[in-house]
Structure 1
Amino acid sequence: MDRLIQADGQPRIGIFPRGPALVNHRDFDLRSPMGRRLGRLAKWRRFHQFQYFGLISDELIGGCALADLSLLGAGFVYLYHPASGRRVERQFRLPLGLGKRFSQAPDDGICELSWRGNRLRMDNRGGVKRLDVALDDGLHIEASFDEQAFQPMHICTPTGPTGWVYARKVAGVRCDGQVRSPLGAFDLQALDCFAHHDWSAGYMRPETYWNWACLSGVAQGQRVGLNLSCGVNETSFSENCFWLDGELVPVGGVRFEFQRDRPLAPWRIRSGDGRVELTFAGCGLHAERVNALLLASNFKQVYGRFDGWLRPPGRAAIRLDNLWGFVEDHYAKW
Structure 2
Amino acid sequence: MDKLIQADGQPNYGIFPAAPGLINYRDFDFRSPMGRRLGGVAKWRRFHQFQYFGLLGSELIGGCALANLSLVGVGFVYLFHPASGRMIERQFKLPLGLGTSFSQSPDAGICELRQGRNLLRLENRSDTGEKRLLVELDDGTRIDASFSEREPAFQPMCICTPTAVNGWVYAQKVAGVTCRGQVRSALGNFDLAEIGAFAHHDWSAGYMRPETNWNWACLSGLADGLRVGLNLSCGVNETSFTENCFWLDGELIKVDTVRFTFDRDQPLKTWSVASHDGQVELTFIGEGLHEERLNLGFIASNFKQVFGRFSGTLRPAGRTPVRIGSMWGFVEDQYVKW
Please report the TM-score for the alignment, with normalisation by the length of structure 1. 1.00
Q: Does 1:151 align with 2:148?
A: no
Aligned partner of residue 124 in structure 1, secondary structure: strand
Q: Does 1:88 align with 2:92?
A: no
Question: Residues of 2 paired with 1:96 and 1:268: CA distance?
Answer: 38
* Paired amino acid for 1:310: L
What displacement does 1:97 show? 1.7
Question: Residues of 2 paired with 1:37 and 1:137: CA distance?
Answer: 48
Q: Does 1:309 align with 2:308?
A: no
Aligned partner of residue 266 in structure 2, secondary structure: coil
Q: Deviations over 1:28-60 (max 9, x none)?
A: 000000000000000000000000000000100
What displacement does 1:237 show? 0.2
Partner of residue 239, structure 2: 235
Partner of residue 78, structure 2: 78
* Paired amino acid for 1:115: Q
Moved over 6 A (4+): none
Partner of residue 69, structure 1: 69
- Within 5 Å, give how 1:184-263 maps onto structure 2: 184-263=188-267
Q: Does 1:162 align with 2:161?
A: no
Q: Gapped runs of 5+ residues in structure 1?
A: none
Partner of residue 124, structure 1: 124
Question: Residues of 2 paired with 1:51 and 1:75: CA distance?
Answer: 10
Q: Gapped runs of 5+ residues in structure 2?
A: none
Partner of residue 285, structure 2: 281
RMSD (Å), alpha carbons? 0.5
Alignment: residue pair count: 334
Question: Residues of 1 paired with 2:177 and 2:288: CA distance?
Answer: 23
Question: Residues of 1 paired with 2:307 and 2:141: CA distance?
Answer: 20
* Paired amino acid for 2:311: D
Q: Deviations over 1:53-96 (max 9, x none)?
A: 00000100000000000000000000000001100000000001
Aligned partner of residue 248 in structure 1, secondary structure: strand
Q: Deviations over 1:114-170 (max 9, x none)?
A: 010100000002321000000001110000000111000000000000100000000
Q: Deviations over 1:232-284 (max 9, x none)?
A: 00000000000000000000000000000100010000100000000000001
Partner of residue 136, structure 2: 134
Question: Residues of 1 paired with 2:107 and 2:286: CA distance?
Answer: 32
Q: Does 1:179 align with 2:183?
A: yes
* Paired amino acid for 1:35: G
